[in-house]
Structure 1
Amino acid sequence: MTSTNPVAIVTGASKGIGKAACINLAKLGYNVVGFARSEPELISVGKDCEAANPNTQYAYFSGDVSNNGDCDSTVELAIKKFGRIDALVNNAAVVEPNGELAGYSKADFARHFDINLFSILYLTQITLPELIKAKGKVINISSGSATNFLKTSGAYCCSKAALNMMTTGFAAEVPEVTFLALRPGVVDTDMQKSARSSRYATAPEVRKMFVSFKENGVLLDPNTPGSIIANMCKRLDHNLSGKFLSWDSAELAPYRS
Protein backbone atom coordinates (compact mmCIF):
# COMPACT_ATOMS: atom_id res chain seq x y z
CA MET A 1 0.00 0.00 0.00
CA THR A 2 1.27 3.45 -0.87
CA SER A 3 1.66 5.80 2.07
CA THR A 4 -0.57 8.87 2.18
CA ASN A 5 2.31 10.66 3.91
CA PRO A 6 5.27 11.82 1.84
CA VAL A 7 8.43 9.77 2.38
CA ALA A 8 12.04 10.88 2.83
CA ILE A 9 15.31 8.95 2.97
CA VAL A 10 18.02 10.56 5.12
CA THR A 11 21.62 9.34 5.17
CA GLY A 12 23.87 9.92 8.15
CA ALA A 13 20.62 9.83 10.10
CA SER A 14 21.94 8.62 13.44
CA LYS A 15 23.19 11.94 14.81
CA GLY A 16 23.84 15.61 14.19
CA ILE A 17 22.27 17.25 11.16
CA GLY A 18 20.86 13.96 9.86
CA LYS A 19 19.07 13.19 13.11
CA ALA A 20 17.66 16.73 13.28
CA ALA A 21 16.47 16.48 9.68
CA CYS A 22 14.65 13.20 10.44
CA ILE A 23 12.82 14.67 13.44
CA ASN A 24 11.84 17.84 11.59
CA LEU A 25 10.62 15.84 8.62
CA ALA A 26 8.43 13.80 10.97
CA LYS A 27 7.03 17.03 12.40
CA LEU A 28 6.03 18.02 8.85
CA GLY A 29 4.20 14.74 8.33
CA TYR A 30 6.87 12.72 6.52
CA ASN A 31 7.45 9.04 6.95
CA VAL A 32 11.21 8.76 7.35
CA VAL A 33 13.75 6.10 6.38
CA GLY A 34 17.00 6.62 8.28
CA PHE A 35 20.22 5.24 6.82
CA ALA A 36 23.43 5.12 8.89
CA ARG A 37 25.93 2.67 10.37
CA SER A 38 24.89 2.71 14.04
CA GLU A 39 21.77 0.65 14.65
CA PRO A 40 21.27 1.66 18.33
CA GLU A 41 21.37 5.33 17.40
CA LEU A 42 19.03 4.77 14.45
CA ILE A 43 16.54 3.13 16.78
CA SER A 44 16.77 6.12 19.13
CA VAL A 45 16.12 8.52 16.23
CA GLY A 46 13.00 6.55 15.38
CA LYS A 47 11.64 7.03 18.89
CA ASP A 48 12.26 10.77 18.61
CA CYS A 49 10.51 10.91 15.23
CA GLU A 50 7.47 9.06 16.49
CA ALA A 51 7.33 11.29 19.58
CA ALA A 52 7.51 14.37 17.33
CA ASN A 53 4.54 13.17 15.27
CA PRO A 54 2.67 9.96 16.19
CA ASN A 55 0.88 10.11 12.84
CA THR A 56 4.08 9.32 10.95
CA GLN A 57 6.14 6.15 10.63
CA TYR A 58 9.86 5.50 10.74
CA ALA A 59 12.03 2.76 9.29
CA TYR A 60 15.78 2.38 9.18
CA PHE A 61 18.58 0.51 7.50
CA SER A 62 21.91 0.05 9.26
CA GLY A 63 24.67 -0.01 6.69
CA ASP A 64 27.41 1.77 4.78
CA VAL A 65 26.47 4.38 2.16
CA SER A 66 29.52 3.43 0.11
CA ASN A 67 28.19 -0.12 -0.26
CA ASN A 68 25.90 -0.34 -3.29
CA GLY A 69 24.03 -3.29 -1.81
CA ASP A 70 23.23 -1.31 1.35
CA CYS A 71 21.97 1.59 -0.77
CA ASP A 72 19.81 -0.83 -2.76
CA SER A 73 18.40 -2.29 0.45
CA THR A 74 17.53 1.16 1.83
CA VAL A 75 15.62 2.15 -1.30
CA GLU A 76 13.89 -1.23 -1.41
CA LEU A 77 12.88 -0.81 2.23
CA ALA A 78 11.34 2.59 1.52
CA ILE A 79 9.37 1.29 -1.46
CA LYS A 80 8.28 -1.94 0.22
CA LYS A 81 7.15 -0.25 3.45
CA PHE A 82 5.80 3.03 2.12
CA GLY A 83 5.36 2.65 -1.64
CA ARG A 84 6.94 5.96 -2.57
CA ILE A 85 9.95 8.27 -2.15
CA ASP A 86 9.43 12.02 -2.20
CA ALA A 87 12.76 13.31 -0.90
CA LEU A 88 16.37 12.24 -0.51
CA VAL A 89 18.72 13.95 1.95
CA ASN A 90 22.35 13.05 1.23
CA ASN A 91 23.96 13.99 4.52
CA ALA A 92 26.47 11.22 5.34
CA ALA A 93 30.10 12.32 5.00
CA VAL A 94 33.57 12.02 6.49
CA VAL A 95 36.43 14.52 6.83
CA GLU A 96 39.32 12.03 6.82
CA PRO A 97 41.98 11.75 5.52
CA ASN A 98 43.56 14.87 6.98
CA GLY A 99 46.88 16.39 6.06
CA GLU A 100 48.38 18.09 3.05
CA LEU A 101 47.29 17.03 -0.42
CA ALA A 102 50.85 16.08 -1.30
CA GLY A 103 50.82 13.45 1.42
CA TYR A 104 47.54 11.64 0.66
CA SER A 105 47.65 8.10 -0.63
CA LYS A 106 45.57 7.39 -3.70
CA ALA A 107 43.67 4.73 -1.75
CA ASP A 108 42.76 7.10 1.10
CA PHE A 109 41.64 9.79 -1.35
CA ALA A 110 39.53 7.26 -3.27
CA ARG A 111 37.93 5.96 -0.06
CA HIS A 112 37.01 9.52 0.91
CA PHE A 113 35.36 10.16 -2.45
CA ASP A 114 33.61 6.81 -2.29
CA ILE A 115 31.79 7.99 0.84
CA ASN A 116 31.38 11.70 0.13
CA LEU A 117 30.60 11.66 -3.58
CA PHE A 118 30.27 8.29 -5.31
CA SER A 119 27.74 7.01 -2.76
CA ILE A 120 25.60 10.09 -3.39
CA LEU A 121 25.81 9.54 -7.13
CA TYR A 122 24.65 5.93 -6.79
CA LEU A 123 21.94 6.50 -4.20
CA THR A 124 20.53 9.38 -6.23
CA GLN A 125 20.56 7.27 -9.40
CA ILE A 126 18.60 4.39 -7.88
CA THR A 127 16.13 6.73 -6.17
CA LEU A 128 15.42 8.80 -9.28
CA PRO A 129 12.55 6.71 -10.70
CA GLU A 130 10.51 7.30 -7.54
CA LEU A 131 11.60 10.91 -7.20
CA ILE A 132 10.62 11.65 -10.80
CA LYS A 133 7.14 10.20 -10.20
CA ALA A 134 6.78 12.34 -7.09
CA LYS A 135 8.41 15.46 -8.59
CA GLY A 136 10.57 15.16 -5.51
CA LYS A 137 13.50 16.90 -3.87
CA VAL A 138 17.16 16.00 -3.38
CA ILE A 139 19.06 17.95 -0.72
CA ASN A 140 22.82 17.42 -0.79
CA ILE A 141 24.63 18.59 2.33
CA SER A 142 27.67 20.51 1.16
CA SER A 143 30.01 22.88 3.00
CA GLY A 144 31.62 26.29 2.86
CA SER A 145 34.81 24.29 2.32
CA ALA A 146 33.56 23.62 -1.21
CA THR A 147 34.52 27.17 -2.17
CA ASN A 148 37.06 28.10 0.53
CA PHE A 149 40.06 25.80 0.84
CA LEU A 150 40.70 24.57 4.38
CA LYS A 151 44.32 23.68 4.97
CA THR A 152 44.88 19.98 5.79
CA SER A 153 41.26 19.14 4.84
CA GLY A 154 41.88 19.07 1.11
CA ALA A 155 40.01 15.84 0.42
CA TYR A 156 36.89 17.22 2.10
CA CYS A 157 37.13 20.48 0.17
CA CYS A 158 37.52 18.65 -3.13
CA SER A 159 34.65 16.22 -2.53
CA LYS A 160 32.26 18.99 -1.51
CA ALA A 161 33.23 21.10 -4.53
CA ALA A 162 32.54 18.10 -6.76
CA LEU A 163 29.22 17.53 -4.99
CA ASN A 164 28.13 21.07 -5.84
CA MET A 165 28.84 20.51 -9.53
CA MET A 166 27.11 17.13 -9.45
CA THR A 167 24.04 18.83 -7.96
CA THR A 168 24.07 21.32 -10.82
CA GLY A 169 24.46 18.50 -13.33
CA PHE A 170 21.57 16.45 -11.99
CA ALA A 171 19.37 19.55 -12.02
CA ALA A 172 20.19 20.14 -15.69
CA GLU A 173 19.59 16.52 -16.69
CA VAL A 174 16.56 15.67 -14.52
CA PRO A 175 14.20 18.67 -14.62
CA GLU A 176 11.36 16.72 -13.00
CA VAL A 177 13.23 16.73 -9.66
CA THR A 178 14.47 19.70 -7.62
CA PHE A 179 18.10 19.49 -6.46
CA LEU A 180 19.95 21.75 -4.05
CA ALA A 181 23.39 21.74 -2.40
CA LEU A 182 23.17 23.26 1.07
CA ARG A 183 25.86 24.88 3.17
CA PRO A 184 24.39 24.07 6.60
CA GLY A 185 26.56 26.51 8.54
CA VAL A 186 29.05 25.78 11.31
CA VAL A 187 27.08 23.26 13.34
CA ASP A 188 27.71 21.78 16.79
CA THR A 189 28.29 18.16 15.71
CA ASP A 190 30.78 15.35 16.32
CA MET A 191 32.68 16.58 13.27
CA GLN A 192 33.29 19.87 15.05
CA LYS A 193 34.44 18.03 18.18
CA SER A 194 36.97 16.14 16.08
CA ALA A 195 38.19 19.37 14.53
CA ARG A 196 38.87 20.82 18.00
CA SER A 197 40.66 17.70 19.21
CA SER A 198 44.43 17.39 19.45
CA ARG A 199 44.02 14.04 17.69
CA TYR A 200 42.75 15.82 14.60
CA ALA A 201 45.64 16.04 12.13
CA THR A 202 45.06 19.60 11.04
CA ALA A 203 47.06 22.82 10.94
CA PRO A 204 47.37 24.62 14.31
CA GLU A 205 45.74 27.76 12.94
CA VAL A 206 42.80 25.74 11.63
CA ARG A 207 42.36 23.94 14.96
CA LYS A 208 42.47 27.33 16.70
CA MET A 209 39.69 28.53 14.41
CA PHE A 210 37.47 25.57 15.31
CA VAL A 211 38.15 26.05 19.02
CA SER A 212 37.18 29.72 18.70
CA PHE A 213 33.85 28.73 17.14
CA LYS A 214 32.98 26.81 20.30
CA GLU A 215 34.38 29.35 22.75
CA ASN A 216 32.60 32.27 21.07
CA GLY A 217 29.24 30.49 20.87
CA VAL A 218 28.91 30.71 17.09
CA LEU A 219 28.07 27.04 16.50
CA LEU A 220 24.54 26.37 15.29
CA ASP A 221 22.28 23.85 16.94
CA PRO A 222 21.71 20.96 14.49
CA ASN A 223 18.00 21.75 14.61
CA THR A 224 18.63 24.96 12.65
CA PRO A 225 19.79 23.29 9.43
CA GLY A 226 17.59 20.28 10.24
CA SER A 227 14.44 22.38 10.07
CA ILE A 228 15.60 24.14 6.90
CA ILE A 229 16.26 20.78 5.24
CA ALA A 230 12.80 19.53 6.18
CA ASN A 231 11.11 22.67 4.89
CA MET A 232 13.02 22.42 1.61
CA CYS A 233 12.03 18.78 1.20
CA LYS A 234 8.41 19.85 1.49
CA ARG A 235 8.30 23.00 -0.62
CA LEU A 236 11.62 23.95 -2.23
CA ASP A 237 11.12 26.33 -5.15
CA HIS A 238 12.07 24.53 -8.36
CA ASN A 239 13.67 27.75 -9.61
CA LEU A 240 16.46 27.11 -7.10
CA SER A 241 17.26 23.69 -8.56
CA GLY A 242 20.98 23.11 -9.10
CA LYS A 243 22.16 25.91 -6.84
CA PHE A 244 24.62 25.88 -3.93
CA LEU A 245 23.16 28.05 -1.18
CA SER A 246 24.01 28.82 2.42
CA TRP A 247 21.51 28.23 5.20
CA ASP A 248 21.48 31.99 5.93
CA SER A 249 21.17 33.17 2.32
CA ALA A 250 18.35 35.45 1.22
CA GLU A 251 17.10 32.76 -1.16
CA LEU A 252 16.51 30.34 1.74
CA ALA A 253 14.78 32.83 4.04
CA PRO A 254 11.34 31.24 3.32
CA TYR A 255 12.63 27.93 4.72
CA ARG A 256 14.05 29.29 7.97
CA SER A 257 10.96 28.86 10.12
Structure 2
Amino acid sequence: MEDVISPEGRDLGRAVCIITGASKGYGRTLALQMSRLLKPRSVLMLVARTADQLNQLKEDVITLYGHNKLDVRCVQADLEKKEGVEKTVQAVKETSVSEMDHLLLINNAASLGDVSRFALTFTDPSEVNRYLSLNVSSALSLTSGVLQAFPRGLGLRRTVVNISSLCALKPFPSWVLYCTGKAARDMMFRVLAEEEPDVRVLSYAPGPLDTDMQLQARRFSGDAQLRRSFSSMFSEGQLLSCNESGAKLIKLLLDDEYPSGAHLDFYEL
Protein backbone atom coordinates (compact mmCIF):
# COMPACT_ATOMS: atom_id res chain seq x y z
CA MET A 1 0.00 0.00 0.00
CA GLU A 2 1.24 3.48 -0.83
CA ASP A 3 2.16 5.67 2.08
CA VAL A 4 -0.25 8.37 3.14
CA ILE A 5 1.83 11.53 3.19
CA SER A 6 1.34 13.40 6.44
CA PRO A 7 3.75 15.96 7.91
CA GLU A 8 4.85 15.16 11.42
CA GLY A 9 2.22 16.07 13.98
CA ARG A 10 -0.71 15.87 11.58
CA ASP A 11 -3.36 13.27 12.26
CA LEU A 12 -7.12 12.80 12.43
CA GLY A 13 -7.16 12.90 16.20
CA ARG A 14 -8.43 10.36 18.69
CA ALA A 15 -11.46 9.57 16.64
CA VAL A 16 -14.52 7.47 16.21
CA CYS A 17 -14.14 6.73 12.49
CA ILE A 18 -17.03 4.97 10.75
CA ILE A 19 -16.60 3.71 7.18
CA THR A 20 -19.50 2.16 5.27
CA GLY A 21 -18.90 -0.20 2.37
CA ALA A 22 -15.59 -1.01 4.04
CA SER A 23 -15.13 -4.64 3.04
CA LYS A 24 -13.62 -4.15 -0.41
CA GLY A 25 -12.51 -1.67 -3.05
CA TYR A 26 -12.30 1.97 -2.10
CA GLY A 27 -13.78 1.48 1.37
CA ARG A 28 -11.16 -1.11 2.26
CA THR A 29 -8.36 1.16 1.06
CA LEU A 30 -9.72 4.10 3.06
CA ALA A 31 -9.90 1.94 6.18
CA LEU A 32 -6.24 0.97 5.85
CA GLN A 33 -5.15 4.53 5.08
CA MET A 34 -7.22 6.16 7.83
CA SER A 35 -5.82 3.68 10.35
CA ARG A 36 -2.39 5.23 9.99
CA LEU A 37 -3.66 8.66 10.98
CA LEU A 38 -5.89 7.83 13.94
CA LYS A 39 -4.42 8.40 17.37
CA PRO A 40 -4.07 5.46 19.76
CA ARG A 41 -7.31 4.25 21.38
CA SER A 42 -9.36 5.52 18.47
CA VAL A 43 -12.34 3.43 17.35
CA LEU A 44 -12.43 2.29 13.73
CA MET A 45 -15.90 0.98 12.86
CA LEU A 46 -16.07 -1.02 9.63
CA VAL A 47 -19.54 -1.49 8.13
CA ALA A 48 -20.45 -3.81 5.26
CA ARG A 49 -22.69 -6.75 4.34
CA THR A 50 -19.97 -9.43 4.19
CA ALA A 51 -18.69 -10.67 7.55
CA ASP A 52 -15.73 -12.66 6.21
CA GLN A 53 -14.28 -9.71 4.31
CA LEU A 54 -14.84 -7.38 7.27
CA ASN A 55 -13.06 -9.73 9.64
CA GLN A 56 -10.16 -10.10 7.21
CA LEU A 57 -9.86 -6.32 7.00
CA LYS A 58 -9.87 -6.08 10.78
CA GLU A 59 -7.04 -8.62 10.95
CA ASP A 60 -5.10 -6.69 8.30
CA VAL A 61 -5.46 -3.41 10.20
CA ILE A 62 -4.33 -5.03 13.45
CA THR A 63 -1.42 -6.75 11.72
CA LEU A 64 -0.25 -3.51 10.16
CA TYR A 65 -0.74 -1.18 13.10
CA GLY A 66 -0.73 -3.34 16.22
CA HIS A 67 -3.27 -4.69 18.69
CA ASN A 68 -3.01 -1.78 21.06
CA LYS A 69 -3.39 1.21 18.78
CA LEU A 70 -6.98 0.95 17.56
CA ASP A 71 -10.24 -0.54 18.70
CA VAL A 72 -11.40 -2.07 15.41
CA ARG A 73 -15.07 -3.07 15.30
CA CYS A 74 -16.96 -4.84 12.53
CA VAL A 75 -20.65 -4.25 11.88
CA GLN A 76 -22.23 -6.66 9.43
CA ALA A 77 -25.24 -4.78 8.13
CA ASP A 78 -27.21 -4.39 4.91
CA LEU A 79 -27.78 -0.64 4.70
CA GLU A 80 -30.44 -1.14 2.03
CA LYS A 81 -32.69 -2.27 4.88
CA LYS A 82 -33.97 -0.28 7.85
CA GLU A 83 -32.66 -2.95 10.21
CA GLY A 84 -29.14 -2.51 8.82
CA VAL A 85 -29.17 1.22 9.44
CA GLU A 86 -30.57 0.74 12.94
CA LYS A 87 -27.95 -1.90 13.76
CA THR A 88 -25.15 0.43 12.67
CA VAL A 89 -26.50 3.39 14.62
CA GLN A 90 -26.87 1.20 17.71
CA ALA A 91 -23.24 0.08 17.37
CA VAL A 92 -22.22 3.74 17.22
CA LYS A 93 -24.25 4.53 20.34
CA GLU A 94 -22.36 1.82 22.21
CA THR A 95 -19.08 3.61 21.55
CA SER A 96 -17.77 5.69 24.42
CA VAL A 97 -16.89 9.25 23.47
CA SER A 98 -14.75 9.88 26.52
CA GLU A 99 -11.32 11.14 25.50
CA MET A 100 -12.41 11.27 21.83
CA ASP A 101 -11.96 14.53 19.97
CA HIS A 102 -13.20 13.70 16.46
CA LEU A 103 -16.21 11.97 14.93
CA LEU A 104 -15.54 11.02 11.30
CA LEU A 105 -18.27 9.35 9.22
CA ILE A 106 -17.43 8.27 5.67
CA ASN A 107 -20.51 7.40 3.63
CA ASN A 108 -18.89 5.15 1.04
CA ALA A 109 -21.46 2.35 0.63
CA ALA A 110 -23.12 2.54 -2.79
CA SER A 111 -24.10 0.45 -5.79
CA LEU A 112 -23.96 1.13 -9.51
CA GLY A 113 -27.43 -0.14 -10.26
CA ASP A 114 -28.55 -1.59 -13.58
CA VAL A 115 -26.56 0.40 -16.14
CA SER A 116 -27.56 -1.85 -19.03
CA ARG A 117 -30.89 -0.05 -19.43
CA PHE A 118 -32.08 3.42 -20.26
CA ALA A 119 -34.38 5.72 -18.30
CA LEU A 120 -37.55 4.81 -20.18
CA THR A 121 -37.31 1.16 -19.06
CA PHE A 122 -37.64 1.91 -15.33
CA THR A 123 -41.41 1.70 -15.05
CA ASP A 124 -41.53 -0.17 -11.72
CA PRO A 125 -41.34 2.26 -8.77
CA SER A 126 -40.39 -0.53 -6.37
CA GLU A 127 -37.22 -1.24 -8.38
CA VAL A 128 -36.22 2.42 -8.25
CA ASN A 129 -37.07 2.63 -4.55
CA ARG A 130 -34.85 -0.36 -3.75
CA TYR A 131 -31.93 1.40 -5.42
CA LEU A 132 -32.59 4.69 -3.66
CA SER A 133 -32.98 2.93 -0.31
CA LEU A 134 -29.29 1.97 -0.24
CA ASN A 135 -27.85 4.90 -2.15
CA VAL A 136 -29.83 7.83 -0.74
CA SER A 137 -32.21 7.00 2.11
CA SER A 138 -29.77 4.97 4.17
CA ALA A 139 -27.03 7.59 3.86
CA LEU A 140 -29.35 10.27 5.26
CA SER A 141 -30.78 8.08 8.02
CA LEU A 142 -27.37 6.76 9.06
CA THR A 143 -25.80 10.23 9.08
CA SER A 144 -28.69 11.62 11.11
CA GLY A 145 -28.52 8.76 13.61
CA VAL A 146 -24.76 9.09 14.05
CA LEU A 147 -24.90 12.86 14.54
CA GLN A 148 -27.72 12.46 17.06
CA ALA A 149 -25.64 9.88 18.92
CA PHE A 150 -22.76 12.38 19.10
CA PRO A 151 -24.55 15.73 19.35
CA ARG A 152 -23.10 19.21 19.36
CA GLY A 153 -21.67 20.20 22.70
CA LEU A 154 -19.68 17.08 23.50
CA GLY A 155 -16.46 18.83 22.51
CA LEU A 156 -16.11 16.65 19.45
CA ARG A 157 -15.07 17.88 16.05
CA ARG A 158 -17.61 16.28 13.69
CA THR A 159 -16.87 15.50 10.04
CA VAL A 160 -19.15 13.83 7.49
CA VAL A 161 -17.81 12.68 4.11
CA ASN A 162 -20.00 11.70 1.18
CA ILE A 163 -18.17 9.66 -1.45
CA SER A 164 -19.60 11.32 -4.54
CA SER A 165 -18.94 11.19 -8.28
CA LEU A 166 -18.75 13.25 -11.44
CA CYS A 167 -22.14 11.64 -12.04
CA ALA A 168 -23.60 13.93 -9.39
CA LEU A 169 -23.01 16.80 -11.81
CA LYS A 170 -23.00 15.28 -15.29
CA PRO A 171 -25.57 12.97 -16.93
CA PHE A 172 -24.27 9.62 -18.18
CA PRO A 173 -26.59 7.81 -20.64
CA SER A 174 -27.84 4.46 -19.26
CA TRP A 175 -26.75 5.47 -15.74
CA VAL A 176 -30.02 7.08 -14.64
CA LEU A 177 -30.11 5.38 -11.23
CA TYR A 178 -26.49 6.07 -10.36
CA CYS A 179 -26.55 9.69 -11.53
CA THR A 180 -29.82 10.34 -9.71
CA GLY A 181 -28.54 8.81 -6.49
CA LYS A 182 -25.27 10.73 -6.53
CA ALA A 183 -26.95 14.04 -7.35
CA ALA A 184 -29.46 13.53 -4.55
CA ARG A 185 -26.73 12.69 -2.06
CA ASP A 186 -24.73 15.79 -2.95
CA MET A 187 -27.73 18.06 -2.36
CA MET A 188 -28.61 16.20 0.81
CA PHE A 189 -25.19 16.90 2.27
CA ARG A 190 -25.22 20.49 1.07
CA VAL A 191 -28.43 20.99 3.05
CA LEU A 192 -26.84 19.32 6.07
CA ALA A 193 -23.92 21.76 5.86
CA GLU A 194 -26.35 24.70 5.87
CA GLU A 195 -28.39 23.35 8.77
CA GLU A 196 -25.46 22.20 10.94
CA PRO A 197 -22.68 24.80 10.58
CA ASP A 198 -20.55 23.13 13.25
CA VAL A 199 -20.36 19.91 11.19
CA ARG A 200 -17.67 19.76 8.52
CA VAL A 201 -19.32 18.27 5.43
CA LEU A 202 -17.50 17.19 2.26
CA SER A 203 -18.66 15.49 -0.94
CA TYR A 204 -15.56 14.00 -2.56
CA ALA A 205 -15.54 12.59 -6.09
CA PRO A 206 -12.66 10.09 -6.10
CA GLY A 207 -12.29 9.87 -9.89
CA PRO A 208 -12.49 6.74 -12.07
CA LEU A 209 -11.16 3.99 -9.82
CA ASP A 210 -9.83 0.59 -10.84
CA THR A 211 -12.46 -1.39 -8.89
CA ASP A 212 -15.10 -4.06 -9.43
CA MET A 213 -17.63 -1.29 -10.04
CA GLN A 214 -15.53 0.00 -12.93
CA LEU A 215 -15.36 -3.51 -14.37
CA GLN A 216 -19.14 -3.68 -14.16
CA ALA A 217 -19.37 -0.34 -15.96
CA ARG A 218 -17.09 -1.49 -18.79
CA ARG A 219 -19.00 -4.70 -19.31
CA PHE A 220 -22.62 -3.71 -18.89
CA SER A 221 -23.17 -0.01 -19.65
CA GLY A 222 -26.04 0.17 -22.13
CA ASP A 223 -24.60 3.23 -23.87
CA ALA A 224 -22.02 1.95 -26.36
CA GLN A 225 -19.97 5.15 -26.40
CA LEU A 226 -19.73 5.17 -22.62
CA ARG A 227 -18.73 1.51 -22.61
CA ARG A 228 -15.97 2.19 -25.15
CA SER A 229 -14.75 5.19 -23.18
CA PHE A 230 -14.37 3.19 -19.98
CA SER A 231 -12.69 0.32 -21.82
CA SER A 232 -10.24 2.75 -23.37
CA MET A 233 -9.42 4.28 -19.99
CA PHE A 234 -8.72 0.81 -18.62
CA SER A 235 -6.56 -0.35 -21.53
CA GLU A 236 -4.57 2.91 -21.55
CA GLY A 237 -3.92 2.82 -17.81
CA GLN A 238 -5.95 5.96 -17.07
CA LEU A 239 -7.91 4.54 -14.14
CA LEU A 240 -6.85 5.71 -10.71
CA SER A 241 -5.72 3.44 -7.91
CA CYS A 242 -7.76 3.54 -4.73
CA ASN A 243 -4.57 4.41 -2.83
CA GLU A 244 -3.88 7.47 -4.97
CA SER A 245 -7.40 8.80 -4.65
CA GLY A 246 -7.64 8.00 -0.95
CA ALA A 247 -4.45 9.93 -0.24
CA LYS A 248 -5.98 13.07 -1.73
CA LEU A 249 -9.10 12.69 0.40
CA ILE A 250 -6.99 12.33 3.51
CA LYS A 251 -5.02 15.45 2.63
CA LEU A 252 -8.31 17.34 2.31
CA LEU A 253 -9.35 16.14 5.75
CA LEU A 254 -6.00 16.99 7.32
CA ASP A 255 -5.84 20.46 5.74
CA ASP A 256 -9.50 21.04 6.72
CA GLU A 257 -9.74 24.14 4.50
CA TYR A 258 -12.62 23.16 2.17
CA PRO A 259 -15.95 25.05 2.32
CA SER A 260 -18.39 22.87 4.26
CA GLY A 261 -20.83 21.21 1.86
CA ALA A 262 -18.47 21.52 -1.11
CA HIS A 263 -18.23 18.99 -3.93
CA LEU A 264 -14.54 18.48 -4.69
CA ASP A 265 -13.17 16.25 -7.43
CA PHE A 266 -9.86 14.36 -7.46
CA TYR A 267 -8.84 16.19 -10.65
CA GLU A 268 -9.51 19.63 -9.16
CA LEU A 269 -6.99 19.18 -6.35
When the two structures are superposed, what TM-score results if normalisation uses the length of structure 2?
0.85
Separation in 1, partners of 2:176, 2:212 = 19
The question of whether the paired residues in 2 share the 8 Å contact of 1:97 and 1:109 is answered with no
Q: What is the number of residues matched between the two proteins?
A: 244
1:225 match: 245
**Equivalent residue for 2:260, pick from 238, 241, 257:** 241
CA, structure 1 residues 14+146, in 2 after alignment: closer, same or farther (shift >3 Å)? same
The question of whether the paired residues in 1 share the 8 Å contact of 2:105 and 2:161 is answered with yes
1:48 match: 60
**Root-mean-square deviation over aligned CA pairs:** 1.9
Structure 2 gaps of 5+ residues are 1-12
The question of whether the paired residues in 2 share the 8 Å contact of 1:184 and 1:246 is answered with yes
The question of whether the paired residues in 2 share the 8 Å contact of 1:180 and 1:243 is answered with yes
Deviation of residue 247 (structure 1)? Answer: 1.8
1:74 match: 88
The question of whether the paired residues in 1 share the 8 Å contact of 2:21 and 2:47 is answered with yes
Deviation of residue 224 (structure 1)? Answer: 2.0
Structure 1 gaps of 5+ residues are 251-257
2:134 match: 115
Q: Show the 5 A alignment for 1:1-257.
A: 5-29=14-38, 30-54=42-66, 55-83=69-97, 86-98=103-115, 99-104=117-122, 105-129=124-148, 130=150, 132=152, 133=154, 134-197=156-219, 200-234=220-254, 236-237=256-257, 239-250=258-269
Aligned partner of residue 140 in structure 1, secondary structure: strand
State the Cα deviation string for residues 39-77 of structure 1 (Å, max 9, x = none): 111111112222332212211111111223222222322
Between Structure 1 and Structure 2, the one with more helix by share is 1
CA, structure 1 residues 131+150, in 2 after alignment: closer, same or farther (shift >3 Å)? farther
State the Cα deviation string for residues 191-232 of structure 1 (Å, max 9, x = none): 0011122xx152121111111111010111111222333444
Taking only the aligned residue pairs, the percentage that are identical comes to 27
2:5 match: none
Separation in 1, partners of 2:85, 2:162 = 16
The question of whether the paired residues in 1 share the 8 Å contact of 2:104 and 2:158 is answered with yes
1:253 match: none
When the two structures are superposed, what TM-score results if normalisation uses the length of structure 1?
0.88
The question of whether the paired residues in 1 share the 8 Å contact of 2:210 and 2:239 is answered with yes
